């Protein structure tokens, strides 16, 4: 039988058919990052801004057994980003898990309790505030000879359009964090409808906050002057950009903040095939050596993800 309502509420059911690809990209990068910095004079930190519960429950349709007409769907639980980071070997020096939801936060606390010998911090509250505080408080650079600096990876995997542009800029200013940003494409085009009559003040404010710019109005919308009658004209605006152009604009915006590099993303989709989000990788460090190392690793991972996505399902 399927799990009861109470059981479902205790589980973190999220994502779509492409979610494993996103998590695999993160896992492969964290593994390579940990190995690359193993003998370097740096502390390695991982910051998960929307850590969830530590595991992911997916409801999969079951295949009927021979002789059975019907079969119940199956719930399959797999590691989420938090547990993936904890299981990386050699282990990262410190892990910060941020979650606002009380139930998922309690699950993260239980997860951290399974590893009493590890430096795992669980923080409850708004991810923007916590990430901005961490970025300004951590000593990222070696300030004295023999003193260890800090390098790290931050994972922005919002449930919607929660990430403020100010948070993106704060991450970039560390010049020490590599950033994986699961950018909410579907949220963008929902807030930027083709019909400008539906582009209300609230949606415009959301787009300004997430993108850190206002020129998307001119870039995305075309204003046409149409004849109303022989004596008057009227202005009409329509959104002329498609999802590809919106994604390209997002990359341009990220490049204004991250001076190291911003790679072309891979796009993930809903179950119905509609665009869900774009997985971007950005480097805040401007050292040529650091940029080359990070982008070589991430490019390989992203290219593998594109090949995986192109295969028949």
The pLDDT tens digits for 72-88 are: 555 667 899 999 999 99
Closest CA to 85 of 20, 19, 30, 150: 30
Of residues 18 and 159, the one with the higher pLDDT is 159
Length of the chain: 313
pLDDT value at residue 63: 54
By CB atoms closer than 10 A (0-12, 13-18, 19+), residue 69 is exposed
Give the single-character DSSP code of 268: E
Of residues 74 and 242, the one with the higher pLDDT is 242
Q: Across residues 20-43, what is the average pLDDT? A: 93
Non-local (6+) Cβ contacts of 229 within 8 A are none
By CB atoms closer than 10 A (0-12, 13-18, 19+), residue 244 is exposed
Coil, helix or strand for 164? coil
Q: What is the largest CA-CA distance in the chain?
A: 80
Q: Which band of pLDDT confidence, cut at 50, 70 and 90, is reported for residue 69?
A: low
pLDDT value at residue 8: 41
pLDDT value at residue 237: 55
- For 253-272, the pLDDT digits (tens) are 999 999 999 999 999 988 88
Q: Which band of pLDDT confidence, cut at 50, 70 and 90, is reported for residue 195?
A: confident
127 contacts 100 by C-beta, under 8 angstroms: yes
CATH code matching the domain that covers 5-310, chosen among 3.90.1200, 3.10.28, 3.30.70, 3.40.50: 3.40.50
Closest CA to 192 of 239, 131, 156, 235: 239
Residue 96 has pLDDT above 70, yes or no: yes
């Amino acid at each position: 039988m399927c799990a009861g309502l109470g059981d479902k509420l205790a589980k973190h059911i999220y994502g779509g058919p492409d979610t494993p690809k996103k998590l695999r990209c993160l896992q492969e990068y964290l593994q390579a990052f940990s190995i690359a910095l193993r003998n370097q004079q740096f502390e390695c930190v991982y910051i998960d801004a929307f850590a969830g519960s530590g595991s992911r429950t997916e409801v999969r349709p079951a295949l009927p057994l021979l002789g059975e007409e019907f079969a119940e769907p199956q719930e399959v639980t797999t590691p989420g980003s938090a547990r993936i980071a904890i299981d990386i070997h050699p282990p990262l020096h410190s892990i910060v898990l941020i979650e606002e939801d009380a139930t998922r936060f309690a699950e993260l606390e239980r997860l951290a309790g399974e590893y009493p010998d590890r430096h795992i911090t669980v923080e409850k509250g708004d991810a923007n505030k916590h990430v901005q505080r961490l970025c300004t408080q951590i000593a990222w650079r070696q300030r004295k000879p023999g003193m260890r600096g800090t390098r790290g990876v931050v994972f922005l995997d919002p449930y919607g359009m929660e990430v403020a542009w100010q948070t993106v800029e704060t991450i970039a200013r560390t010049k020490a964090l590599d950033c994986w940003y699961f950018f909410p494409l579907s949220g963008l085009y929902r807030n930027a409808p083709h019909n400008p009559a539906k582009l209300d003040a609230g949606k415009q404010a959301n787009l300004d906050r997430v993108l850190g710019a206002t020129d998307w109005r001119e870039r995305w919308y075309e204003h046409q002057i149409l004849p109303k009658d022989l004596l008057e004209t009227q202005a009409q605006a329509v959104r002329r950009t498609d999802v590809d152009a919106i994604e390209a604009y997002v990359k341009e915006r990220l490049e204004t903040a991250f001076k190291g590099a911003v790679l072309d993303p891979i796009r993930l989709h809903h179950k119905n095939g509609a665009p869900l989000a774009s997985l971007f990788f950005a480097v805040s460090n401007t050292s040529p050596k650091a940029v080359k190392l990070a982008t070589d690793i991430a490019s390989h991972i992203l290219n593998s993800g594109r090949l995986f996505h192109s295969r028949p399902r």
